[in-house]
Amino acid sequence: MRWTYTNGTYTSNYAKWDNIDSAQYATLSIYIPNVNATTANAPYLATYNGASSYSFYINQNIYYNQWITGPYLYDIRNVYLDDNTGETPGSTKVGFDGVRLLY
């Protein structure tokens, strides 16, 4: 598990999860740890189906050691999370932890 403080409207830290080959539909699942994940606006981006992308936000502050069900997409290749939450810089933390695909 890694974390960073929120950075307002600029990205200074990010995580990227790569998936080599998943030419099938899958549900993206995001793990939210019980510490250092207090942002209300964690910005995730999933790339899928060649050149498409899907953005979504998770309020990490309301989950503790839980897998959160994300979108159902075809051929998910990457998942990104950064510290550009729109919140006051340094006011909360973004927790970077596990990502899994459920086929």
What is the DSSP-derived secondary structure letter of residue 84? -
With a CB cutoff of 8 Å and minimum separation 6, the contacts of 47 are: 53, 76, 77, 78, 79, 80
Q: Can you give the pLDDT at residue 20?
A: 84
Is the pLDDT at 19 greater than 90? The verdict is yes
Per-domain residue ranges for the chain? 2-102
Between strands 2-5 and 52-58, the pairing is unpaired
Residue range 20-73, pLDDT digits in tens: 877 999 999 999 999 999 999 999 999 999 889 999 999 999 999 999 999 999
Provide the β-strand partners of residue 99: 30
Q: Which CATH architecture has domain 2-102?
A: Sandwich (2.60)
